[in-house]
Amino acid sequence: MSYPIFAALGFTLIFGFSFPFARMALDHIGPIHLLAFRFLLAMAVMRSLRALGVIRVRLTPAQWKSLLLLGFFQPFMYFACETIGISMTSASEGGMMVAVIPIFTILFARLFLKEQPSVPQIGAVVLSVAGVLLIGFMQATEEFGSNFLGLVILLGAPFAGAAFSVLSRHLSQRFRPLEMTFVMMHIGAAVFFPASLIQHAADGSLGAFLAPLGVPQVMAGIAYLAVLSSVTAFFLLNYALSRLAASQVSAFPSLTTLVAVGASVMLLGEVLHWYHWLGGLFIVTGVWGANYFGAKASKKEQAALAVSRS
């Protein structure tokens, strides 16, 4: 198994475990407030690592400008649409909307990167999406679909996620994964921290801005989301996208749902139902198929290129 595949599995596991950590923290802190501390700490970690010489990141103003669009799609647009959309609808609807990221990614990859995923590869991605949709549908509330505006806003999350995947793949020809991750963490902090301050000022609760930091669940959530789910996971994601086709990597986020369910069972004592097992089977089979057929297609392309050069 190659390093890019390990990287893809790594960010999948980290993102999956982020759900129970975020859920525990959100019992004591608001979503935008949590995002503010998450990306502020992530930015601080990146800058500390650079100051200590652990990582090397040297970007000119022109290079920062080139990466701003990447940061706009992820983390700004993705998290803004997901957070606002879920607040207007339900977590189940959010999970189902995010499940269509692979479909958007395949479409964008064909339009902008000229990638041509095979029919079996597309079928495998659709199968993994079907697994996520099954789990989301079975967990849906009676109010499902009652807020059309919320659903429209939620649709911005998979759009942003797919646009980020394609853009990261494109920018990987000019920038290292570490450089892209560095800029993303700064943009997240620059957007969500002021937004949270403004929100607290408007509510008249600015004096209690730091109060949640005294809650152990909040501190654990911020630490996990900042160090692992932001810095480490996004680095792995950018690395995987720099080595694998965007359409191939797009299948892995479906595994996040499966990991999130398992993590919730272990950490929060939630119960598994039959649709979790069936949906999980669809997801695992789809991710395996997308990478198996994607690897075969890549070998055929390399062989054809070698013949054309001989």
Q: Where are the alpha helices (DSSP H) in the chain?
A: 3-26, 31-51, 61-71, 78-88, 91-98, 101-108, 119-138, 148-171, 177-203, 216-223, 233-243, 246-249, 253-268, 274-309
Q: 82: burial class by Cβ within 10 Å (0-12, 13-18, 19+)?
A: buried
Q: Is-contact 280 258, C-beta < 8 A? A: yes
Structure tokens at 176: 């290292």
User: Over the chain, what is the mean pLDDT?
Assistant: 82
- In whole angstroms, what is the distance from residue 80 CA to residue 231 CA? 19
Q: What is the pLDDT of residues 241-275, one digit of tens each?
A: 998 887 778 777 667 767 777 776 777 676 677 87
**Boundaries of domain holding 215:** 3-309
Q: What is the pLDDT of residues 77-87, one digit of tens each?
A: 998 887 777 66
Q: What is the band of 76 on the pLDDT scale with cuts at 50, 70, 90?
A: very high
pLDDT at 305: 37
pLDDT at 306: 43
> Residue 114 pLDDT > 60, yes or no?
yes
Look at the chain and report how many structural domains it folds into: 1
* Lowest-pLDDT range of 41-55, 156-170, 280-294: 280-294
The number of CA neighbours under 13 Å toward the Cβ of 280 is 11
- In whole angstroms, what is the distance from residue 93 CA to residue 108 CA? 23
* Lowest-pLDDT range of 159-163, 227-231, 305-309: 305-309
Given phi > 0 = left and psi -120 to 50 = alpha, else beta, which region is 141?
beta
Provide, rounded to the nearest whole percent, the portion of the chain with pLDDT above 70: 82
Other C-beta atoms within 10 Å of 134: how many?
Answer: 21
> Residue 300 pLDDT > 60, yes or no?
no
